[in-house]
């Protein structure tokens, strides 16, 4: 009969490769999308989009900071849920903007999918 104490110690020290891969994938997506929000040169697509939102360009920069910080926090196991909370707030906001400000609910599919990924990966239990 295996010693349960040894078995639990072995399990607690094993590396959750699947969790790391999922977190890094989601985190990488948000860090890259967040970094795209910072350039403000002519033709920058995020500048035009945030002009349409009507809150000013400070909101574009703020959103970029939230996405980059949330992505970095999401990558680390100890801070995944804090990062997930930040990213979930940003994606709920994006869904609401598409539905109520732009009045194009079909365009909310991508932020809704990103929100689902954040919630599924961020709150998944380790096998």
Mean pLDDT of the chain: 90
Question: What 8-state DSSP symbol labels residue 56?
Answer: -
Q: Give residue 21's pLDDT.
A: 95
Contact in structure between 108 and 99 (CB atoms under 8 Å): yes
* Entry pTM: 0.85
pLDDT in tens, 64-114: 999 999 999 999 999 999 999 999 999 999 999 999 999 999 999 999 999
Task: Tell me the two tokens of residue 43.
Answer: 């033709």
Give the percent of the chain with pLDDT over 90.
80
Q: Which residues contact 49 (CB under 8 A, 6 or more apart)?
A: 60
State mean pLDDT over 48-58.
94
- Does position 11 have pLDDT exceeding 70, yes or no? no
CA distance 20 to 14: 12
């Amino acid at each position: 009969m295996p010693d349960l104490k040894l078995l639990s110690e072995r399990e607690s020290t094993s590396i959750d490769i699947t969790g790391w891969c999922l977190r890094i994938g989601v985190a990488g997506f948000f860090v890259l999308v967040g970094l795209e929000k910072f350039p403000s040169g002519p033709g920058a697509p995020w500048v035009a989009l945030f002009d349409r939102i009507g809150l000013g360009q400070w909101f574009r920069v703020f959103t970029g900071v939230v996405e980059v910080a949330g992505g970095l926090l999401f990558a680390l196991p100890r801070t995944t849920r804090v990062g997930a909370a930040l990213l979930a707030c940003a994606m709920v906001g994006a869904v609401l903007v598409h539905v109520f400000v732009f009045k194009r609910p079909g365009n909310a599919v991508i932020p809704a999918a990103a929100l689902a990924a954040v919630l599924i990966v961020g709150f998944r239990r380790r096998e």
